[in-house]
Amino acid sequence: MDQTSSRQGNILYDWPGEGCESSLKFLDSAQLGPQPYDAVIVGAGVVGCALAYRLSRFQLRVLLVDKNFDVGEGSSKGNSAIIHTGFDATPGSLESELVTQASRQWPTLAEKLKIPYDPCGAVLLAIDDEQEAQLPKIHKKALANGVDDVRLLTPPELREIEPNAPPDVRGGIAVPRESIVDPFTASIAFAEVALANGVDLLLGASIVAVENPDAAVKTLMTSSGKRVTTRILVNAAGLGSRALADAYAGQPFDINPRRGQFLIFDKFSRPLVRGILLPVPTPQTKGVLVIPSIFGNLIAGPTAEDLPLGSPDATCTTKDGLEAVFDGAARLFPRLKGQMVIGAYAGARCNCSQGSYLIRYNDHHPGILSVIGIRSTGLTSSPALADYLIRGLVDNCELKLQEKPEAMDCRPEHRWPGWWRKPFENEDMLRRRPDYGRFTCTCENVSCGEVIDALESPLKPRTLDAVKRRTRALMGRCQGFGCLVALAEVISSRCGIPLESVTKNGPGSELLNS
């Protein structure tokens, strides 16, 4: 295997048209260098990004590829953003093992990688006799999963934690280590460290064919006809994993999107709860939760609706779905009635009929790893899953690991640390950069200077959605009504992109077309 130097990785976009400057464009396979990669990870969701981050500590040539035009654009952007303890997982399952392991890693990881994280805790509420009868069983399951800090609560104890719980609540369970996190920054942070350690990142490139899956060096082809060679192929493509497995004739499995819809409440609602409110799960679903968001809003959701694979509606919200969310959340938390909804979104879980966390090494071909059905807990498990996969690649796929002493394990400092910094509050910064005082988004107080810093940050975001997830512009009460054009103008002028070519999320979503 190649001995790689500590060079920073390349970021390239396979971007037809003018929505991205030519210096970032992937025009020719030669830009990736003459040597095959040691590993190509297809899918830059939180799972692929975490794997790239962990692999970047070793002397390996690694490429992370995604068909979308930012990292974390699949299931990883439309979830409940909870770092689960695993208290309700199936004891003895791989999911339980990885989630419980990862939940203990997250506090340190979040600090190292500057991922906003809040160990706000959760309470599970029983609101009728039937649910109350379930509590001892759920408590026992939590203990079997090694989550030993859970405790049964009487109604007065529960109301002490959550004074706005329903007046007739029958009891509950406290789960103190359930936490919330910024799900967007998670994928971004993993990918940024990977990039700093030399991993290359290719966005906007859909892998549509694997030409010689049995060969020691495999050739992958993108939808634009460019080729990438690699010794190991990791299929971490989420809902795209079925189509990708077809490209190398992997073993059979069935997946479908399980849609989850959410309502976002205004920031005034946030003080009404202390932590996450969980319903008693049914055999079919975990139910609708009330979740504080790390950004200061309150979220209600998700639904669990199975749709066919390839459904164009997998991430659409519906009237019925949002009504079900509201009704479910209001049963758990009656004071939600009368709170102001400012937005809604939906995410699609990768539901696999053969079970969750289906990991196949040498999937019909040597050196191909399929990671399938990371359905409901992948945000939490991603760091532990990445380590598990690396051990498996060493044991099963002849991956050789040699530490890279110069590799960094913390997110590198750069001018754009994230949306939580408010540079206009710092007089020195404001004096040096007056653009920190010129606001692009007034709902979330995002200055033009912060947008510029985000555009110049290591992953070079170039779409409105990518900048939104980094800065929170477009995410406030007006949901972009007041700042969309201003944001597009900053992207256009800073990156030299014609205004009409600035896109929501890549070619085909040009601002002035939609």
Residue 82, interface with ligand FAD (CB under 6 A)? yes
By CB under 6 A, name the one of 19, 74, 287, 418 that touches ligand FAD: 74
By CB under 6 A, name the one of 206, 230, 457, 463 that touches ligand FAD: 206
Residue 462, interface with ligand FAD (CB under 6 A)? no
Q: Which is nearer to ligand FAD, 255 or 441 (CB)?
A: 255
Q: What is residue 47's three-state secondary structure?
A: helix
Residue 244, interface with ligand FAD (CB under 6 A)? yes
Residue 207, interface with ligand FAD (CB under 6 A)? yes
Find the shortest distance in angstroms from Cβ 488 to ligand FAD. Answer: 23
Query: Pseudo-torsion of CA 277, 280, 282, 284, nearest 10°?
Result: 20
Residues in Cβ contact with 483 at an 8 Å cutoff, skipping those fewer than 6 apart: 440, 441, 442, 443, 446, 473, 474, 476
Q: Which is nearer to ligand FAD, 191 or 490 (CB)?
A: 191
Residue 260, interface with ligand FAD (CB under 6 A)? yes
Contact (Cβ atoms closer than 8 angstroms) between residue 100 and residue 86? yes
The CA-based angle 25-27-33, given to 5 degrees, is 100
By 3-state DSSP, what share of the chain in percent is helix, strand and coil, each rounded to 5? 35, 20, 45
CA 216 to each of CA 32, 38, 211, 467: distance values in angstroms, whole numbers, following the listed order:
19, 10, 12, 39
Residue 44, interface with ligand FAD (CB under 6 A)? yes
Residue 256, interface with ligand FAD (CB under 6 A)? no
Residue 57, interface with ligand FAD (CB under 6 A)? no
Q: Which is nearer to ligand FAD, 66 or 435 (CB)?
A: 66
Question: How many residues sit close enough to ligand FAD to count as binding (CB under 6 A)?
Answer: 41
By rule CB under 6 A, what string of x and - marks binding of each residue 324-353 to ligand FAD?
-----------------------xxx----
- Residue 370 CA to residue 250 CA, distance in Å, equals 8
Residue 469, interface with ligand FAD (CB under 6 A)? no
Site for ligand FAD in 107-136 (CB under 6 A): none
Q: Which of these segments, 6-14, 62-70, 317-325, 436-444, binds ligand FAD (CB under 6 A)? A: 62-70
Task: Give the per-residue SS3 of 435-476.
Answer: HHHCEEECCCCEEHHHHHHHHCCCCCCCCHHHHHHHHCCCCC
Find the shortest distance in angstroms from Cβ 278 to ligand FAD. Answer: 11
By CB under 6 A, name the one of 54, 84, 411, 460 that touches ligand FAD: 84
Q: Which long-range contacts (CB under 8 A, 24 or more apart) does 390-395 make?
A: 390/51, 390/54, 390/55, 392/359, 392/361, 393/39, 393/232, 393/361, 393/369, 395/361
CA 451 to chain centre: 21
Residue 459, interface with ligand FAD (CB under 6 A)? no
Find the shortest distance in angstroms from Cβ 54 to ligand FAD. Answer: 14
Q: Which of these segments, 39-47, 124-132, 272-280, 322-330, binds ligand FAD (CB under 6 A)? A: 39-47
Tokens 């809902």 found at: 239
Instruction: Burial-class residue 139 by CB neighbours within 10 Å (0-12, 13-18, 19+).
Output: middle
Residue 59, interface with ligand FAD (CB under 6 A)? no
Find the shortest distance in angstroms from Cβ 356 to ligand FAD. Answer: 9
User: Residue type at 86?
Assistant: G
By rule CB under 6 A, what string of x and - marks binding of each residue 374-403 to ligand FAD?
xxxxxxx-----------------------
Find the shortest distance in angstroms from Cβ 303 to ligand FAD. Answer: 8
CA 279 to each of CA 126, 338, 364, 414: distance values in angstroms, whole numbers, following the listed order:
7, 21, 42, 41
Preceding omega of 281 cis (within 30 degrees of 0): no
Q: Report the run of H or E that residue 358 belongs to, with start and end.
A: strand 358-360
CA 211 to each of CA 82, 124, 196, 220, 314: distance values in angstroms, whole numbers, following the listed order:
39, 50, 30, 6, 30
Q: Report the run of H or E that residue 392 belongs to, with start and end.
A: helix 378-397
Residue 240, interface with ligand FAD (CB under 6 A)? yes
By CB under 6 A, name the one of 40, 165, 201, 236 that touches ligand FAD: 236
Residue 199, interface with ligand FAD (CB under 6 A)? no
Q: Which is nearer to ligand FAD, 375 or 433 (CB)?
A: 375
Q: Which of these segments, 133-141, 371-379, 484-492, 502-510, binds ligand FAD (CB under 6 A)? A: 371-379
N- to C-terminal Cα distance for the chain?
A: 47
- Residue 37 CA to residue 190 CA, distance in Å, equals 19
Residue 495, interface with ligand FAD (CB under 6 A)? no
By CB under 6 A, name the one of 19, 86, 116, 238 that touches ligand FAD: 238
Q: Which of these segments, 87-95, 130-138, 237-245, 326-334, binds ligand FAD (CB under 6 A)? A: 237-245
Binding site for ligand FAD (CB under 6 A): 42-48, 65-68, 73-76, 78-82, 84, 206-207, 236-240, 244, 260, 302, 347-349, 374-380
